[in-house]
Amino acid sequence: MQVAITGLVIFLLVKLAEGFYGDRALEKRFTRWRSERSIHAGLSWTGAAIAGALVLFIYPLTIYRFSAAEPPSWLTTFPADSGLRIGAARAIDGAFDWLAIAGEGVFDSITFAIRTLLDALELMLVATPWPVVMVAICAIAWLLAGARVAIFTAAAMAYLALFGFWEKSMATVALLGAAAVICVAIGVPAGIWFSKSEKAYAAARPVLDFMQTMPAFVYLIPVIAFFGTGKPPGILATLVFGMPPVIRLTALGMKGVPGNVTEAAAAFGATRRFRLWKVELPLAMPSIKTGVNQTILMCLSMVVIASLIGAKGLGEDVLEALQYAAEGQGMLAGLAILFCAMALDRIVAGRSAPASA
């Protein structure tokens, strides 16, 4: 009885919504028809036939499912083949094992290059005396974004230092910096290329969609299979998540350059390289800076997930707080990540709008 009443209530709500939105859609279509008489009027027999077939298919099955005492299993559970899943999983395992062995040299070279960059950044941020690093960061914030951002940055770093997060914060910033450098070094040239070639952008768009929509935890599976655990694999997992914004916004900014400007530059004898460096890139720079800013923040949002494979940093404290239900430790570490993100966001954004800093 409860199922029947619930179904009736849902049915009435759906019909009320259909009537409300249907009336508005009909009014909108009539308004368009008055100015554009080529719009088809009347009943579409094809659409009516499809709708009737759907009703004859959906209603009886739904009524039978909820009215029968013991509905058949094929109606409640999809007849999946577990053997197919097991076979596909084994085939994927074999492919990963073969790739890991065949590409061991390539994967080791990538790991070595990333570790070299990360070690250099950690040397500057972690090994360097903390007063030097703090003064340097505040000076950079002052020059790039103004006095207020510099004061906020100093307050954020004071929080990190007083609560014992300084070393882990600088290690996190080093990891973030390595990921951001690689993202920008690959993403900006790729965005420029995609803005010039529609075919290349059409081929890359599904890949970028996949990189942005795939759950972040899934990135860790192939990364662990090919690169193991540690900081370099954590950077690689961060790259997959953080690179699409800078590529998309660079391509968007380059495409937004007015065509008459580039035509005028060409008419005055400017070469393609001159037009790229002196005309197109300066005009597209606001969009490119926005992409870099978004990439940095998205890379920073991966620090907790990357800590699952040994990336350490502030994400390690948050992960430990989740494991042991330590609310206070988790909140303090989360605030440390928040202050790092806010300081970086204001410093990078201040370059494009210093007056609003």
The series of mean pLDDT values per 10 residues for the chain, 357 residues long, is 77 83 78 73 79 89 82 80 86 89 89 89 87 92 88 92 90 88 92 91 90 80 85 86 91 90 86 88 90 86 79 82 84 88 82 42
Task: Output helix, strand, coil percentages for the chain, rounded to the nearest 5.
Answer: 85, 0, 15
Burial 202-223 (b: 16+ CB within 10 A, else e): eebeeebeebeeeebeebbebb
Structural domains counted in the chain: 2
Measured distance CA(138)–CA(321) in Å, rounded: 30
Give the residue from 59, 76, 93 where a domain finishes: 76
Measured distance CA(29)–CA(40) in Å, rounded: 10
With respect to residue 190, please indicate whether it lies within any of the assigned structural domains: yes
User: How many residues comprise the chain?
Assistant: 357
With respect to residue 332, please indicate whether it lies within any of the assigned structural domains: yes
Burial 96-121 (b: 16+ CB within 10 A, else e): eeeeeeeeeeebeebbeebeebbeeb
Domain enclosing residue 17, as ranges: 2-76
pTM (2 decimals)?
0.74
Specify whether 178 is located in the same domain as 140. Answer: yes
With respect to residue 96, please indicate whether it lies within any of the assigned structural domains: no
Give the residue from 76, 93, 119 where a domain finishes: 76
DSSP 101-150: HHTHHHHHHHHHHHHHHHHHHHIIIIIS-HHHHHHHHHHHHHHHH-HHHH
Position 14 scores a pLDDT of 85
Specify whether 66 is located in the same domain as 115. Answer: no
Position 202 scores a pLDDT of 92
* Beta carbons of 118 and 178 less than 8 angstroms apart: yes
- Residue 268 carries which DSSP code? T
Specify whether 131 is located in the same domain as 271. Answer: yes
* Beta carbons of 191 and 250 less than 8 angstroms apart: yes
Position 159 scores a pLDDT of 93
Contacts of residue 182, defined as CB under 8 A and 6 or more positions apart, other chains included, come to: 114, 117, 235, 239
